[in-house]
Structure 1
Amino acid sequence: MDILVQPLNRVIRAEPGVNLLDALRAAQVPMSYSCLSGRCGICRCRVLSGEVLDGGREQQRPLDGVDGAVLACQTYVAEPCTIEVPAPGEAVVHRARVAKATVVAIEPLAADIRRLLLKVAKPIEFSPGQYVQLGFTPTHVRPYSMANLPGEQLLEFHVQLMPQGRVSSYIAGQLKVGDKVKVSGPLGAAYLRQQHTGPMLCVAGGTGLASVLSVVRGAVAVGMRNPIHLYFGLRSPRELYGLAWLDHLRSVNPALQVHVVVASGADSATQRRGLVTQAIEQDHASLRGWQAYLCGSPPMVETTTLLALGKGLEVAHLHAEAFYMQGD
C-alpha cells in the first residue's frame, strides 16, 4: 500500500492497518514526536486523501480534525492515502521524560498571578512555546507553559489563582520554597518555527503570556527579525503583568509590536478596549503567509483560530494551546 508524503512528493510503502507515525519513522521521514500517546500534539499532520482510522478523538485538541488534521501516533492507515507533514526542517524530537525539580521562588506578578520558578537537576529539552505537567502532589497535577528559554536550569511558570481552584490554591497557600515537584514533558505543538521568515501573530490570554513570551524570547535568541504582532488579552487591568519583559523584547527587536487589549476598564492611553479578536480584525485585512501562536482559554483560542483561518492563515501555520481554567 502506498502513502504519498507531501510536500516531499515521496511515496512510502506500508501495510494496511499500520500506525502512521511508525510508517513515517520507518521510512525516515522527518517528523516531530514526543509522548507517543496523543497527549502532546506534536505529531500533527493532515490527511489530504484516502481513509485512515483516527484513534485520537478522545484527546481532542484545538486543531484536531480541522481541514483533515490528525495526530500521526494515533492514526492507522486503512488504504492508499496522501499525507501532508510539516516542513522537514521544523521537526523536533524531545522525548518526554520525568524530572525532579525544586521550588526556588513563588513571586507575585499581579493581584491573582504568581511566578513560579523551579530548578531542575538537569535542563529539560524543549522548544520555545511548549509546556509540561507539574505534579506537586499525586492529586495536584496540572499543565503549565514555560516562559523561559531551553537550556536554562530555572523553569519559569505563570500561575493564575482561581477562586476555589484546587491546584492554584495549593500553589498559593501550601507550596513552599524547597518543596519538590515532578516535571513531565515536554508537551505541546505550539512551538517556535525558526525557519519561518514572514510575519508572526502571537496571541496570549491571561497567563497564556508565558508560552508567548517563550516563543518571542526564542525568536530573539536565534536572531529572527520577523515582524511580530503580540496581542495580550485581559479581562481587567488587575490581570496585567509582564510589561517590563515586553518592553525589553521591543528594545532588542524593533519589529515587535505589543497590543494590550483589556475587556473592561482599559487605560485609553496605553491599552485597547475590547477583545483580542476585535483588535486583530481591525488591524489586519489578511494573515496569509503568517505564522500564528495562540495560548489561553478555549473560547479565546477557538474564536481567534476561526478569525485567523478566515483571514487566509493556513492551518499548517496555526499553532494553538487551549488550557481549561476551571478547577485549577
Structure 2
Amino acid sequence: MSIVTCKVSSIEKLNDFLYRIFLAPQQAVSYKAGQYVSVVMGEKDKRHFSIANAPSSEVIELHIGATPENSYAMQVIEKMQSDGQVEVEIANGEAYLREQSVRPMIIVAGGTGFAYAKSIIEQVVALKLTNPVHLYWGVKEQDHFYLEEQAKQWDETYQNIHFHPVVELADEQWQGAQGYVHQAVLKDFSDLSAFDVYVVGRFEMAKVVREDFVKQNGNVEHIYGDAFSFI
C-alpha cells in the first residue's frame, strides 16, 4: 500500500469531542465508498479512520472523535494541527459499498461511524442507485447526532433512503427508538436474509451485531464490516 502526503485543508470542531477534517492529497488517489485511511504516526504506528465522503471528491473528509483521555485520536489531531500535513494510506478495508448489488441495504453505525455511512450514502446518491437504504445511526445521548440534519435531508430528498436514529440513553422528550442500535434493526425486520448489511462501530459491537443478525436469517456473506477482520 503506497503512502500519500496530504495537506490539512481544515480542522473544524463540531462539538466537545468531535473534529471534522478535510485533507487534500498531494497526488491523485482512488478509493471505494466505505473504505478508510490509515494515518501514519510512526513506522509501526498507523491509526485508522473512516473516509466520510464519496470517491468523487478531490478531498478526504474525516470525522475524528478525540478527547485528552483518548490519546489514540487526540495525538492525530495534534499532529495535524502542528504539522499542517500527514502521511496516510488510502483505500484500506473490505467493507466497501457493493455497487453492483441490487439487494436492499442496512447500514448500522455507532457514534462517529456515521462517517462510514455518509461515504456509502453519498455514493448511492452519486450513482443514482435505487436500492432501499436503511441507515440506523446509534448514539449514547441525543446531542451526539452531530450531523443529524444531513441524515434527515437524505431521508426527505430520496425515496429509497430512510434514516432511523437510535438513542441509547434517551430522555423523556425523545420520541424515537431507544437502546442499542442493532436491536432497533431486529425489531423492524424479522427476516434479514434479503439484505446487504454494512456495520461500523467498536469491535465488541460489530461482533454482537453479526451474531444477532445471523440468528435472524442474516447471511454472513452479505454482512460487511472491517471490524470482523480483527475479531
Alpha carbons of 1:106 and 1:136: their partners in 2 closer, same or farther (altered >3 Å)?
farther
Contact 1:135 / 1:183 at 8 angstroms: preserved in 2?
Answer: yes
Give the alignment's TM-score, normalised by structure 2: 0.90
In the alignment, is residue 146 of structure 1 matched against residue 29 of structure 2?
A: no
Gaps of 5+ in 1: 1-95, 324-328
Aligned partners of 1:98 and 1:257: how far apart in 2?
36
Partner residue of 1:276 out of 181, 184, 198: 181
Q: Deviations over 1:159-206 (max 9, x none)?
A: 111452223222444532761100113111110011222210100011
Shift of residue 227 of structure 1?
Answer: 1.2
Q: 1:126-146, CA deviations, whole angstroms, 9 ceiling, x for partnerless residues?
A: 110001101256686311110
Stretches of structure 2 that go unaligned for 5 or more consecutive residues are none
Structure 1 CA distance for aligned equivalents of residues 24 and 67 of structure 2 = 25
Aligned residue runs from structure 1 range 183-222, under 5 A: 183-222=88-127
SS at 1:215 equivalent: helix
Contact 2:154 2:162 in 1 (8 A): no
User: For residues 1-328 of structure 1, what are the structure 2 equivalents within 5 Å?
Assistant: 96-136=1-41, 141-173=46-78, 175-176=80-81, 179-266=84-171, 268-322=173-227
SS at match of 1:322: helix
Query: Residue 37 of structure 2 aligns to which amino acid in structure 1?
Result: V
How many angstroms apart in 2 are the aligned matches of 1:267 and 1:151? Answer: 41
Aligned to 1:69: none
- Structure 1 pair 104–124 and aligned structure 2 pair: CA distance change class (3 A): same
**Does the 8 A contact of 1:124 with 1:150 survive in 2?**
no
Q: 1:266 to 1:233 in 2, by over 3 A?
A: farther
Measured after TM superposition, the shift of residue 151 of structure 1 is: 3.5
CA contact (8 A) 1:147 1:214 kept: yes
Deviation at 1:305, TM superposition (A): 0.8
How many pairs align? 228
Question: Contact (CA 8 Å) 2:210, 2:220: kept in 1 or not?
Answer: no
- Matched residue of 2:3: which SS? strand
Separation in 1, partners of 2:8, 2:150: 22
Shift of residue 271 of structure 1? 3.4
Q: TM-score, normalised by structure 1?
A: 0.64
Q: CA RMSD in A?
A: 2.1
Structure that is richer in helix per residue = 2
Cα distance in 1 for partners of 2:173, 2:184 equals 14
Higher relative contact order (Cα pairs below 8 Å, separated by 6+ residues): 2
Tell me the distance in 1 between the aligned counterparts of 2:178 and 2:140. 10
Q: Secondary structure at the match of 1:207?
A: helix
Query: Structure 2: how far apart are the matches of 1:282 and 1:103?
Result: 42
